[in-house]
Structure 1
Amino acid sequence: MSEKPETVRVVACPQCGAPVRWEAASRYRPFCSERCRLIDLGQWADESYRVPASPPDGEDAPQ
């Protein structure tokens, strides 16, 4: 019985769009490099990314 070769998923780096193999050997996955990983971290630290929030509903809303 022959085994199927394992297929590796390839994703796009969220920072630059370069292809990244999704496997244990890809040290910075989902990023292609440490540079892209650090750029993303810096954007979080600068609060460039924001999670939208809605005002609370009900009795606990500020008056």
Structure 2
Amino acid sequence: MTVPSIPRRIVACPRCRGDSVYAAENPFRPFCSERCKNNDFGAWASESYRLAAKPPAPEDDDPDAPFRTDR
């Protein structure tokens, strides 16, 4: 009896959106290539990726304000 083969999982490369094999045989997974992996790492290192956030509330700016427990 033969072992059924597992279909290869193809995902979109997070950097270029090209096809990328998501398996142990791809040392750059989830990226499609070393170039995409390094480009993504460079973007993180240069702080190109940022999360949107609301500015702090005015009462949070005063370090001398008493501690609030109603939050």
Deviation of 1:56 after TM superposition, in Å, equals 5.6
Which of 1 and 2 has higher RCO (CA within 8 Å, sep 6+)?
A: 1
Deviation of 1:36 after TM superposition, in Å, equals 0.6
Q: Secondary structure at the match of 2:61?
A: coil
Instruction: In structure 1, list runs of 5 or more residues that go unmatched.
Output: none
1:6 alignment partner AA: I
Q: What are the superposed Cα offsets for residues 12-62 of structure 1, whole Å, 9 maximum, x if unpaired?
A: 1111111111110011001111111110111111111012334567x7x22
Instruction: Normalising by structure 2, report the TM-score.
Output: 0.67
Question: In the comparison of the two structures, how many residue pairs are matched?
Answer: 61
RMSD: 2.2
From the CA coordinates, give the structure whose radius of gyration is larger. 2
Identical residues among aligned pairs (%): 46
Instruction: In structure 2, list runs of 5 or more residues that go unmatched.
Output: 63-71
